[in-house]
Structure 1
Amino acid sequence: MLSILGNANEDGTIDMKDVEYTESIILGSGNPTRFADATGDNSIDMLDVTKTELISLGKAKELTLVDGVGRQVNVALPVKNIIPTDYRTTETLLALGTGDMIVGVDRAFHERMDEFGLLDLPEVAVHGKSVDYEMVLTLKPDIVLLPLSQAENAEDIAKNLPNTAVVSMGLSSQKTIDSDLTTMGFVLGKEKEANELISWMQRYEDLVSEQTRDLKSDDMPTFYYEYMSGGDENWWVITPEDPSAGKVAEGAGGHNIAAGLAGTSVEVDPEWIIVKNPDFMFADLMKGFDSGPGKTEEDMENLLAKVLSGRPGFERVNAVKNNNVYLVDRDVIGGPRWVIGRIYFAKCMHPELFEDINPEEIHKEYLKKFHNLEVSGTWVYPLPE
């Protein structure tokens, strides 16, 4: 969905068809839609026809988008400078070819994703929090992007950043990335790049669906997806309701033992996991516990031993007994790489269905195609056979 006022017919762009549809609403033959009110004045009239036409011709001086939490935000055009305050959002924007538009990043981007460059840019936030207002105002961005996790602070942040569009978007979440890419691609003048990235993700999403479509419920193993493994919080489970990691694991041909639990990540008793006896375990490496770029399989083997240590009774769990415990770096779960994570999940649980599909090569394809990068490292361990 293109979440921009003026998208009257609610397709993937704003063109003369939207102008015609807005006219039909005014004449009474068309049904009013959420985005037909291009001027945002709660009335659909000829002013909206004019505004929609200007947007479609690339002559509008501003437009109004509806962000991920329903806020209407006016954006001055053309957009020249942007600041993403979340590192996974930054990766997604870079995949659209916006490197020359980004003028500031969050600290986590430099700490977690230095392979993507932008090392000389100032740090203006910490994961969407602690925004350095003085620095942001000095950089004069047209848009400041917040992750959905900081949406509740959007209005307060906006008050401190006059003349700046503060937008909350889920560009790192599997659940929302397609629609948000469509919207931001249009706003940033990167429609072609956004459509190409969405098509690339769709191709591999369809591949997993095709390979697993004939699986019956009894053919699907159970799995335990642990939240933030390797730290002190050893007993948190990711549920299917999680909009990022949880949604990625769904559709990979398995049953999440946390299905039905309320919340996105839930603290559980270790005995509960032992009783559930999952066939597979996926350990979430969110904070960079020595995985990813530059890490060897030996590094990950040592990390796996650490993750499994201090778990009395786990030796009785099928996943452990059958060596079906996998470390999964969150970088191949969030942003455009979510589909790579799904392929890993699917191949781990159904190697016979994905015998000729190599998720490592697909990861390399993504990095080269959308970032012109060749990066060695280990993001999943052990690699599925």
Structure 2
Amino acid sequence: MCSLAKAGLVAAGLIASTILTAYAEKVTIKDVAGREVEVDAPVDNIILGEGRQIYFLAVLDKDNPFKHVVGWRDDLPKADPETYDAYLAKYPDIATLPTFGGMKEGTFDIEQAVSLQPDVVLMNIDAKTATEEAGYIEKLDKVGIPLVYVDFREKPMENTEPSMRIMGELLGKEKVAAEFIKFRAGAIKRVTDVLEKAKPERPLVFMERAGGYSEDCCMSFGDENFGKMVELAGGINMAKAIIPGTFGTVNPEQIIASNPDQIIITGGSWENYVPGGNWVGVGYGADVEEAERKLENLTKRPAFTGVKAVEDKNVHAIWHQFYNNPYQFVAIQEIAKWLHPDLFEDLDPETTFKELHQRFLPLPYKPGFFVSLKD
């Protein structure tokens, strides 16, 4: 190659490098743990500390939500196989993405993470204690890799909006994040405004977490996550006074004594976790007849003996993963319709969910996220 051509290539490389450097600039992001973290944004490479973080990444990058993902935790195919299969069909390359174990399980491979040269590691706030105890933040700092906490599970009604803004800033998608936040807030107001005006009597609701996942009964929610969604939807969360944190357990005798008016059970297709389990397999494109059959079966457990909700068939199942993604507003709408059918006769959560898919998500909408014995 002649010296002139070589010089031209070097110059072109320098120009490209200068453009990239100018595009990505160092910003300080305050994560949901209150930490100030310096990141070169927009980022090119991300490690997802949980595979289900793709739920909100997809909102921000409808064309290709995996474009910046260089590694992710291995939970999505197990926790939500239908959604994983739908993404796999559209983006087959995700089958080759490096996978990690979880921070809390102590199976996260820090050396593997560093070798992938991410610009940022995204971690859920519930893994904070395990992350700090293992010294991962310091280890990543030594090689210039920042770690940022987000939250859609521990306090989702408080942290969903800031988490989406953080992700928008990391990806240079601030405008899309703002549009989604506005859409989400509007969908919630369609419930809360009606309740504020009508001030209806609030039914007592027992919210069971992952009913049928194990033989034990019964996991539930305190004053956050689905527990908070029940309150926003016009109900009284039975376990609020029993469970001090976000998650906990209610014994069968408490359920019988409380005699709830409504029972809502979260479910999903957990064959990879509990083969042949009694869980209710609601979710993306689920078989609703089979889900309804399994829901009916769960009402025969001793914990629900003689309970008003069972007698009146006010027993419902809802997609468990609403507890861990920014689409909770759809769940709030559906719960409101179950609790106050007359007030919300014209509200259609399915239409809301379809609009979410059409405007923000790369997958087409498929029903199957809710079933009810009342239907």
TM-score category of the 2 structures, normalised to the smaller one: 0.7 to 0.9
Q: Is 1:103 equivalent to 2:70 in the alignment?
A: yes
Residue from 28, 32, 36 that aligns with 1:64: 28
Q: What do residues 148-185 of structure 1 show as CA deviations (whole Å, max 9, x unaligned)? A: 11011334222343221111111452320101212221
Pair 1:221–1:355, CA change in 2 (3 A): same
Distance 1:183 1:238, change over 3 A: same
The match for 2:87 among 108, 111, 116 is: 116
Paired amino acid for 1:210: D
Q: Does 1:274 align with 2:256?
A: yes
Shift of 1:93: 1.3
Provide the residue aligned with 1:77 in structure 2: 41
Partner residue in 1 for 2:168: 185
1:126 aligns with 2:116: no
The structural deviation recorded for 1:140 is 1.3
Unaligned runs of 5+ in 1: 1-57
Q: Aligned partners of 2:128, 2:235: CA distance in 1, in Å?
A: 32
Partner of 2:14: none
> Do the aligned partners of residues 71 and 364 (structure 1) sit closer, same or farther apart at CA in structure 2, a change above 3 Å counting?
same
Tell me the distance in 1 between the aligned counterparts of 2:177 and 2:233. 25
Count of matched residue pairs: 324
Deviates more, 1:206-215 or 1:280-289: 280-289
Tell me the residue number matched to 1:17: none
Instruction: State how far apart, in whole Å, the 1-side matches of 2:285 and 2:23 are.
Output: 47
Larger relative contact order (CA 8 Å, sep ≥ 6) = 2
**Alignment partner of 1:138 is 2:102:** no
C-alpha distance in structure 1 between counterparts of 2:355 and 2:212, whole Å: 29
- Tell me what 2:177 maps to: 194
Pairing 1:150–2:127 present:
yes
Q: TM-score, normalised by structure 1?
A: 0.78
User: What is the aligned counterpart of 1:339 among 329, 334, 337?
Assistant: 329
Aligned residue number for residue 39 of structure 1:
none
**Structure 1 vs Structure 2: percent identity of aligned residues?**
27
Give the structure with the higher percent helix. Answer: 2
What one-letter code is carried by the residue in structure 1 that aligns with 2:69? I
- Name which of 288, 306, 309 aligns with 2:300: 309
Q: Are the equivalent residues in 2 in contact too, given 1:332–1:379 (CA < 8 A)? A: no
Shift of 1:231: 2.0
**8 Å Cα contact 1:91/1:116 also seen in 2:** no
- 1:232-311 matches, cutoff 5 A: 232=214, 233-240=216-223, 242=224, 244-261=225-242, 262-285=244-267, 288=270, 289=279, 290-311=281-302
Using the alignment, how far apart are the partners of 1:305 and 1:258 within structure 2? 22
Contact 2:102–2:108 at 8 Å: present in 1 too?
no
How big is each residue's C-alpha offset from its partner over 1:107-138, in whole Å with a ceiling of 9 and x where there is no partner?
A: 11233231234533424323554222233223
Q: Output the CA distance in 2 between the equivalents of 1:194 and 1:224.
A: 33
Find 2:138's aligned residue among 142, 151, 159. 159
Question: Could you list the runs of 4 or more consecutive aligned residues of structure 1 that deviate by over 4 angstroms after TM superposition?
Answer: none
* Residue-by-residue CA offset, 1:50-88 (whole Å, 9 max, x unaligned): xxxxxxxx8773122222222222212341111111133
Q: What SS class does the counterpart of residue 157 from structure 2 fall into?
A: coil
When the two structures are superposed, what TM-score results if normalisation uses the length of structure 2?
0.79
